[in-house]
Each structure stands twice: as C-alpha cells, then as structure tokens.
Amino acid sequence: MEIAEDVLKKVAETTGGEYFRATNNKSLRDIYARIDKLEKSKIQVNVFRNKYDRYPWIINSRRHFATDGDNFKINNITFKTIIL
C-alpha cells in the first residue's frame, strides 16, 4: 500500500506530534508501548441519560385533584404540586 509518508511526517512535525508507521504486528506493539509511555492527560467525560417518568399515570391523575401547594408521597418521594 502506497502512502504519502513525507506528508504525514510533515503534519506530525507541524502539529507537534509524532509519526509512527507499523509494518508488522511486532512494530505495532512497540508503537503502542511507546505511546503508552507518553504523558497522560486527564479528560472529563460527560454522560447523558434519557429520563422518563416511572409513574406518569399517578402524577397525571393526581394533577387533576391537587390544589397549589399539596404534597403527596410515592415510594418515599415527596412531591409538591404546583399548578401552572
């Protein structure tokens, strides 16, 4: 496979990186070992989850009978009703 090795080396040099080329499994393992010894940076990972109402039918039915400021409990969770 033909690659533009000179261009890749120039990109690595320009960006302050290093160019690695593995031609077999051993050289690839050596490259990974070398990269693993480089300075490690801490990263922050944000995890997002979809939330959903577990008991929407209870909350919706309670909404019809609640007045502003009423409290009610479901599974030890206290809900304060606010009429908008």
Q: Is residue 79 part of a domain?
A: yes
Q: Structural domain tally of the chain?
A: 2
Predicted pLDDT at 26: 95
74 close to 58: Cβ distance less than 8 angstroms: yes
Domain coverage including residue 31: 5-37
Q: CA distances (Å), 76 to each of 19, 61, 67, 73, in order?
A: 59, 18, 21, 6
Per-residue pLDDT tens digits for 24-83: 999 999 999 998 888 777 777 777 777 666 666 565 555 555 454 566 666 667 777 665
Residue 31 in contact with residue 22, Cβ under 8 Å? yes
**Could you identify the residue written with the tokens 């080396």?**
9
User: Has residue 67 been placed in a domain?
Assistant: yes
Note whether 54 and 83 are same-domain residues.
Answer: yes
